[in-house]
A = this chain, B = another copy of it.
Amino acid sequence: MLLDDDPAQSDRTRDALTASQLYYLQDLTMEAIAQELHTSRSSVSRLLSHARATGLVDIQIRSPLDAPSRLEQEIQARYGVTAHVVPVSDRANDVDRLERVALSVARILGQYFDSNMIMGIAWGSTMSAISRHITPKPTHNSQIVQLNGAGNMSTTGLGYASEILGRFGNAFGAHVQQFPVPAFFDDPLTRQALWRERSMARLIEMQGRMDVALFGLGSPFSEVPSHVYAGGYLDPDDFDALNRDGVVGDVATVFFRADGSTGGIPLNERGTGPDFAVLQRTPRRICVVSGNSKLPSLRGALCADLITDLFLDEGTARALVATP
């Protein structure tokens, strides 16, 4: 839980609050604050870090009412999505890009999620990176729901995915709905059967009611394969099949082609991600992408109308608009 029920923490929080007011609203130096609080300057430094990390201090950047960058305008015009281009040095490698885009998203995610909302989230390296940096924001009666199963041949998936889920839930004080199924069933019939279970039906119903969906993109045939493709969720036969079917990527382990279509891809019959129709009904659909290698996948996702808000690094944004 996020709230400090611990009375010992309460003092710390109160001090952090005071320190923040003195530092950010009155421009005192940490030295001066230390005196007022009867502690050492370094403790004040730590208090302030704590205040920022817990979301007590909230730093927002507001583009002067409009003035989206040329790139953002261009993307808006061509694809009808609100783009947020994250400035990243051109010579940063893909890992850095991912990390920096994720960090930026983590810091402003609170602007999209509030009390009484349901947020669906996928899992994967992008989501993992985001989860590690979210600035907390207290909410009431809100829920985080997992979009797709995460088990594979070797584990039930309750480690990796639930760690991500947990961090989101924790940061927002939200209730977490896990999805304790494998990413792919061996037999489509198992899925059909399980989906009729009331516990599963309830969860899927909840996915249908979500207010925000947050996801990265998978891209099977790129140099940097995403988690799904490296984690033992698929075997070589599956891969070949995807290739034959013309798949360019996936969202929450639902595969799609360059034109955004998902029909006739057998693997989807065994997968556990939400039907794209469900996503399309979600009011806000936030996609986080970094690295040129995900471009084909991104194009497909845009065709499929999966995205309302797109976060991507500058290089990828440029590449996206560089084609006719």
Are A58 and B60 touching (Cβ within 8 A)?
A: yes
Task: With A56-B62, A60-B57 as known contacts, state yes or no: A100 contacts B17, CB within 8 Å.
Answer: no
**Does A158 touch B at the CB level, under 8 Å?**
no
Contacts of A24 in B (CB 8 A): 59, 61, 107
Copies in the complex: 2
**Does A293 touch B at the CB level, under 8 Å?**
no
Give CA–CA (A22, B96) in the complex, Å.
13
Task: With A26-B104, A58-B60 as known contacts, state yes or no: A86 contacts B21, CB within 8 Å.
Answer: yes
Task: With A27-B103, A57-B60, A58-B59 as known contacts, state yes or no: A138 contacts B89, CB within 8 Å.
Answer: no
**Does A63 touch B at the CB level, under 8 Å?**
yes
**Does A162 touch B at the CB level, under 8 Å?**
no
Give CA–CA (A14, B27) in the complex, Å.
25
Which size class do A's interface residues fall under? Answer: 35 or more
**Does A77 touch B at the CB level, under 8 Å?**
no
**Does A275 touch B at the CB level, under 8 Å?**
no
Are A64 and B3 touching (Cβ within 8 A)?
A: yes
Are A64 and B4 touching (Cβ within 8 A)?
A: yes
**Does A258 touch B at the CB level, under 8 Å?**
no
Contacts of A67 in B (CB 8 A): 13-14, 17
**A13: contacting residue among B26, B64, B86, B138, CB under 8 A:** B64
Are A58 and B62 touching (Cβ within 8 A)?
A: yes
